[in-house]
Amino acid sequence: MLEQLDHLLSHFALYLGVAVEVLALALVPLVLLRRKEPSSTFAWILTLVFLPGLGAALFLLHGRDRVRWPARRKRAADEVLTSRLDHARRETRVDPSGAVGELDEAERCIFRVCEGLGPLVEVSHGNRVELYENGGVAQNAINAAIEGAQESAFAEYYLIRDDDTGARFRERMTQAAARGVDVRLLIDAYGCFWLRKRWFLPLRRAKAKVAQFLPLKMALTLPMNLRTHRKIVVVDGRVAFTGGLNVGDEYVRETGGKPAWRDTHVRIEGPAVASLSSVFLRDWHFMTGSEELPERFFPDTGQPGDAVVAVVPSGPDEGREAIHRVFFSAIVGARRRVWITTPYFVPDRALLVALETAARRGVEVKLLLPGHSNHRVTQQAGRSYFTELLESGVQVFEYLPGMIHSKTMLVDDEISLVGSANMDVRSFRLNFEVHTLVHDRSLAQELEAAFLRDCEASRAIELDRWRHRPWLERVGEGAARLVSPIL
């Protein structure tokens, strides 16, 4: 009896192995039909051929083109709402042409790129922008703004934790809703997967409106690549917050013996607030169907500052990879320096060549990355680019105190970029992101000072020493780079 069972199991294992290999090979034509980047296609084929079981599972979960249908839906929803947004904002929209015209040629070209990316990318002047380099300070400012809300409080987040920081944020939103403020919370269904229904009960009892972005229908069909990675808070249509900060203890204080994550956020007053409101309301309409756009959502904010701000949303719906184009334009247009901070660095060939070329023509290019990352494989993939970057003259630093989650770029003396997008394929092509491009000398000076402080707490990667790192590390980095197009 046991011999027969053993015989059956051995044959079952053999047949299963053959079936998996056949399935993996059958998926290769589907990979070729996707018409993606050659590097991505090649990586999928190699994985399917040499690791058929893992490759087939990964492709069925991640690789199938789930982008087209939701992207088409999102695009159609945006088109419906855009004309209504234009009507609602007809009295308060500011013509940006005068301010952009006053910039010098190189700066003007970067903003012209933004203006050419379509109606979803908006440029305005007369804004005031405040930088937060401390997550606790930023979260306190967000909570205080919500606490003072009189008309509306909108929030869109990829991640909210069920912890003390999340509870305090929820309390402010709940209290605002209870006193009659129009409170709307849009969360990503995947990023907030572990938030249980009971977490939302106080909000719903207070008549706050809550929605999920692309809810997960089944665990085996997770559309993991179509997430809203945006972080937006808009209060009364007059003040907005955006950047890299999610809602959780790790962003504001030490947790588990580890220091708080280093992140960067901005507070905006002025006409650009309406642009961020529009991004939120398009996403809200996409998930709820609501077309409610009272003019109170778009009050006359005046022009409280001198900053020119481009709000750049990007996602698979718009098809232009808007943030990627802005990053590329900023790098190739730089004359003196490009200082970049990003937690996840998996550049495509265009950005890699842009960085190397900028350094070779004498621009000071500095790249600040985490020394301790919460995504080890992605970190290894990023490190695989160090040698060619260093050989081109790019200076690379790894931040040592803890995880650095900032997504910033400083270009020359007056251009700053702050937002939610990482420098990787997922942010450029698969997720819904939002970045701000700001022309303001004082903000650039603050970002410069923060970057220099971060570099002081980092280790500089030296080319000679890097070339002599252990052989196994280089093999691991090469393997991670091979699969980086599908990370």
Pair 55, 154 in one domain? no
Average pLDDT, the chain: 89
Catalytic residues: 229, 231, 236, 405, 407, 412
Structure confidence by residue, pLDDT tens digits, 118-130:
888 999 999 999 9
Pair 291, 378 in one domain? no
pLDDT at 98: 63
Question: Quick one: average pLDDT of 2-21?
Answer: 64
Residue 81 pLDDT more than 90? no
pTM, two decimals, is: 0.88
Pair 170, 308 in one domain? yes
pLDDT at 219: 39
Domain assignment of residue 286, yes or no: yes
Q: Residue 346's domain spans which residues?
A: 322-486
Pair 339, 204 in one domain? no
Domain assignment of residue 293, yes or no: yes
Domain assignment of residue 459, yes or no: yes
Structure confidence by residue, pLDDT tens digits, 23-62:
777 777 877 776 566 767 777 787 788 778 777 787 776 6
Pair 122, 23 in one domain? no
pLDDT at 179: 97
* Distances, alpha carbon 106 to alpha carbons 124, 352, 442, in Å: 18, 21, 19
Question: How many domains in the chain?
Answer: 3
Pair 450, 475 in one domain? yes
Write down which residue in 271, 294, 312 finishes a domain.
312
Quickly state the pLDDT bin for 167 (edges 50, 70, 90): very high
Pair 153, 55 in one domain? no
The CATH number covering residue 243 comes to 3.30.870.10
Pair 21, 90 in one domain? no
